[in-house]
A and B are shown apart, each in its own frame.
Chain A
Amino acid sequence: MSGPVGWIGLAISVALVLVAAVVSAVRRLGLEVSILWSSARALAQLLVVGGLLVLVIDPERPIVLSWVWVAAIVLIAADTVRRRVREVPGAFAVALLAFGIAAPVTLGVVFGCGVFPVEGKTVVPLGGMMVGNSMTATVLVARRIVAEMADKRLEVEARLALGWTARAAALPYLRAAARDALVPQLERTKAMGLVFLPGAMTGLILAGVDPVDAVLVQVVVMYLILASTATTTTVVAWGISHRLFSPDQRLKHLPRLENRR
């Protein structure tokens, strides 16, 4: 293997994962299978993706391939949300709508304003970062809303019984869920540069780019991620809560959420 990371570097990082799995086994946390499976799966996925990316972001290839790649990411992300909240019918459509709104708007602003040139090597990574970060928050908000509505069913129905609309009755729980889902991203944004140096900036500095230029790129990426996370979280929160009520403003019977890792 050539490049900045050799076989030894890879082996050391795998050893660290093994240490984490052993710690989990010794402390009986029950996470060892998940740690090993997700690490192996990520490695396999990244190797395949790396190979495909070489083809897609090649400047000789048409840019449409990069946009198809982003569309595929959006589909996979929406399917991931669906699998995490199987209990909610139509979750895929809601998530697809959320990513379908956020991706063109945020990427449109970034590329439309000429912040980055429209090239495969910018479209694919920015789209991936935007959707990837948003997906975590959307899964969180979707699961939290379903859990809250099931847990606080009596409260929600007490509000409905007072003549509140379904939307108004759901709002307090929707707010709490959206806040909880956005907190990690907001905390990360607040701690940016103080606690950790973010990925894009670190990568650029390691690649020899001037730190000031790297910071500017990072700021744009950070705002892109924050905007898309807030947008997708809001749309998914609204869409999922809408699905939990019938057209005649009744709270549907909600199955208990399965614990999926």
Chain B
Amino acid sequence: MLRAVAVHQVVHSPDVSIPGLFEFIDVSVVDSGRQILDGVTARIDDGGITAVVGPSGAGKSTLLRLCNRLEAPSSGTVRYRGSDVSTLDPTGLRRSVGLLGQRPVPFPGTVRDNLHAAAPDAADNILAECLDRVDLLPSFLDRVADELSVGEQQRMCLGRALLTEPETLLMDEPTAALDQKSRSALEQLARALVKDGVPLLWVSHDLAQARRMGDRVLVLVSGRTWGPAPPDALESAPGEFRAFWMGSS
């Protein structure tokens, strides 16, 4: 833990008097005897996009799921804007901290039904505005969600997550199942959300995408973290973390 803090301070010196967006304090997650996260200590600054990058199985999704309490740490503390998440009402936290998964998960029914899952009382004009925000036409409201393309489904899921008016958005490899065109469209949408003041945590196993998207990058390898650091400081990461992208390049 001490080493992680020390490295963190070298690469990035946040104003610790202001609560971070998320703070992980000596967080470990053990599942069925397997160590997923191993004493992670990291602070994610508020605002912009924080890319979380690492190889498959490094614990990136688990780290993200800790942020909206879909996962609970075996030990340690996760803070959201200064509050220990374990003291926050999980349903309220999840509406404030939206999540877009790796693959779209449409619910049975139409796009309207899906959007109503997030905002049951929203009128069609609100839903149409929401679709417009994610580059889908209002006519999509009556389409069966299951029959949309994967890219359209993912944008619908983003719209669904936005309908809870989240203050923060977690994106777990949201472009992994998308083609190049849909990937670019979603990346643009993400940047537009940041301009609207919604900070993002963007998980990726693609270092190029993490550099492209992230205002800062947190590297996660074998359950341990380095950073967050500006993308151009990644070369100063210790060897065990650099090995991940050196090996993949």
Q: List the interface of chain A (C-beta within 8 A of B).
A: 154-155, 157-165, 246, 248-251, 253
Contact = CB atoms under 8 A, between A and B. Distances in A.
A154 B32 contact: no
Nearest to A157: B70
Contacts of A160: 70, 90, 94
Contacts of A155: 105, 107
Interface residues of B, number: 25
B86 A154 contact: no
A192 B129 CA distance: 54
Interface of B: 31-32, 68-72, 86, 90-92, 94-95, 98-99, 101, 103, 105, 107, 117-118, 157, 160-161, 164
A248 to B, nearest CB: 5
Given A158-B99, A160-B94, 16 more contacts: A155-B105, A157-B70, A158-B101, A159-B107, A161-B70, A161-B94, A162-B160, A246-B72, A248-B90, A249-B69, A250-B70, A250-B72, A250-B90, A251-B70, A253-B31, A253-B32
A162 B32 contact: no
Contacts of B91: 163-165, 249
B107 A163 contact: no
Contacts of A164: 91, 117
Contacts of B103: 154
Nearest to B31: A253
B190 to A, nearest CB: 17
B203 to A, nearest CB: 14
Contacts of A251: 70
A165 B107 CA distance: 16
A163 B105 contact: no
B153 to A, nearest CB: 12
Contacts of A154: 101, 103, 105
A161 B161 contact: yes
Nearest to A154: B105
B68 A161 contact: yes
10 contacts: A154-B105, A158-B99, A161-B68, A161-B99, A162-B95, A163-B91, A164-B117, A249-B69, A250-B90, A253-B32
Contacts of A165: 91
Contacts of A246: 72
Contact of A248 (B31, B86, B160): B86
Contact of B107 (A157, A158, A161, A249): A158
A157 B98 CA distance: 12
A163 B117 CA distance: 10
Contacts of A159: 107, 117
A250 to B, nearest CB: 6
B164 A249 contact: no
Residue of B69, B72, B91, B157 with most chain A CB atoms under a 10 A cut-off: B91
Question: Which of B86, B90, B157 neighbours the largest number of chain A CB atoms within 10 Å of its CB?
Answer: B90
Given A158-B101, A163-B164, A165-B91, A248 B72 contact: yes
